[in-house]
A and B are shown apart, each in its own frame.
Chain A
Amino acid sequence: MDKYECTACGYIYDPAAGDPDNGIPAGTRFEDLPDTWVCPQCGVPKDLFVKIG
């Protein structure tokens, strides 16, 4: 599963950890995050993330 980085603030989404604070369980692939999900650190939408492998 690939990690993705927020190009606005540098936050890294790690699918292994998910984003439990915002209702995203560990093991959720970035591709499967809902479109309403935003960067938990700076609030920008999903399309501003790039894959970092």
Chain B
Amino acid sequence: MNVVIVGNGLAGTLAAKTIRELDDNVEIEIFGEERYPYYPRPNLIEYLAGRLPSTKLFAFPEGWAERQRIVVRLGEKVTRIRPGERKIETVSGLERFYDVLLLATGARAALPRVEGIAQPGVFVLRTLDDANGLIDHLGTHKRVAVLGGGLLGLEIARAIRSRDAEVSVIEYFDRLLPRQLDPAAAAILKSHFEKSGISVRLATVVREVLGSGAVQGLRFESGDRLEADTVIVAAGIVPDVGPAKDAGLEVGRGIVVDDLLRTSVPTVFAAGDVAEHRGRIHGIIPAAFEQARAAAYGMLGQNKPYGGTVPFNTLKVAGLYLTSVGEIDAQGEGYEALVRSLPEAGLYKKIVLRGGRLVGGIWMGTKKGAAEISRLVAAEKHVEALKKDLLEDDFDFSEIT
């Protein structure tokens, strides 16, 4: 049996690894557009910050793929899929027959439609080539605007700040991480960034990237301008559906898959950031991994249904732990919110109760008690009698059973 995998990112690589663990004899060949062996993308942040040498980016020791008898063709973009004949074609003219195909082409960074966005000095951060291009440019261009105050934008801003650049984060919403934080917590996070020398502009709409041939700054809807010689866009992802769409596979925003990660063509599977499962594109590592593993089983005919991924509700943002669960900002009849906040220390804890039951919480700046709070919220525990104590740093959660 002959398995072909398109894309040597996380999903493609971990699917290959799983297939080999399940079956010694299957032939596995991966085609990857990038010129590098697989690396975890979060490493790009550390690399950008100058804290991780390029030799340490890669996940597996040299020779790993060969030892697993996985053939990896790097710098070999798949340009065409012919599902009728079960064949793929690559940019250099290679052709391969497959018994089953996995599309693990991931996603690209989204570029908002803003005047002047397509010019030298505007960057995204998705690949090692992106990182190298950016680092090169930053050597002589240190006034940076990051478009997007989401998780990725904030990580990028912090990484670049440690290269002594002048960094501004531009966010469309009126607070940072609106999905995870209430206004008070978001304000603490903002001042945490400002203390490290990063400026943050909220509720700001970018109308134009100024410059012709070299970035000179930004013009906002308000008419204000910001001088900058580097613009980094962190405004979400676009699944890379190109070859699948051309081949007539069912495509929404991503490649549509069922619970077995099958596309609309039974011998073609998809997993990772490119896959649209139950209407969702997850765009996170745990989902890409779980899909890749389930797809590997499915491709070998051993069905292992995938039911979706519940995202981790604890994150680390700019060095601060952040846990956010349930209804974090509910107000009005029947709701009660209690807060303990030490802004100087970057600490913010909040619980939201409805009729004495715990229905939401934010734990920022500490991880102690965060897992317990998540569990109590999931169970909607009645905590009326203990509600004040819950926010204390030394609260003993074993008191609640």
Please determine whether B10 and A8 come into contact, CB atoms closer than 8 angstroms.
yes
Q: Among B40-48, B78-86, B203-211, B327-335, which stretch is in contact with chain A?
A: B40-48
* A10-B60 in contact (CB<8A): no
Asked whether, in the complex, the Cβ of A21 is within 8 Å of the Cβ of B40, the reply is no
Contact (A6, B61) CB under 8 Å given A43-B286, A43-B312:
no
A5 to B59, CA, bound (A): 8
Question: Known: A42-B285, A43-B312, A44-B285. Contact between A9 and B42, CB under 8 A?
Answer: yes
A residues contacting B by CB (< 8 A) are 5-10, 21-22, 41-44, 48, 50
Q: Majority SS of interface residues in chain A?
A: loop
Question: Does B69 have its Cβ within 8 Å of any Cβ on chain A?
Answer: no
Q: How many A-B residue pairs have CB under 8 A?
A: 43
Residue ID in chain A nearest B61 by CB atoms:
A50
Q: B40 near A8 (CB under 8 angstroms)?
A: yes
Contacting pair A10 B14 (CB below 8 A): no
Which of chain B's residues has its CB closest to A47's CB? B21
Chain B residues with Cβ below 8 Å from A43 are: 285-286, 312
Residues B80-123 near A (CB distance < 8 A): none
Contact of B269 with A by CB under 8 A = no
Residues of B within 8 A of A41 (CB): 42, 316
Q: How far is the CB of B15 from chain A (nearest CB, A)?
A: 12
- Across the A-B interface, give the 7 residue pairs with the lowest CB-CB distance, nearest first: A7-B59, A10-B40, A10-B43, A43-B286, A42-B285, A21-B367, A9-B42
Complex: how many Å from CA A44 to CA B368? 21
Find chain B residues with CB under 8 A from A9 CB. Answer: 40, 42, 285
What string of 1s and 0s marks CB contacts (under 8 Å) between B31-46 and chain A? 0000000001011001
What are 9 A-B contacts with C-beta separation under 8 Å? A5-B59, A7-B14, A8-B14, A9-B40, A10-B59, A21-B368, A42-B285, A44-B289, A50-B61
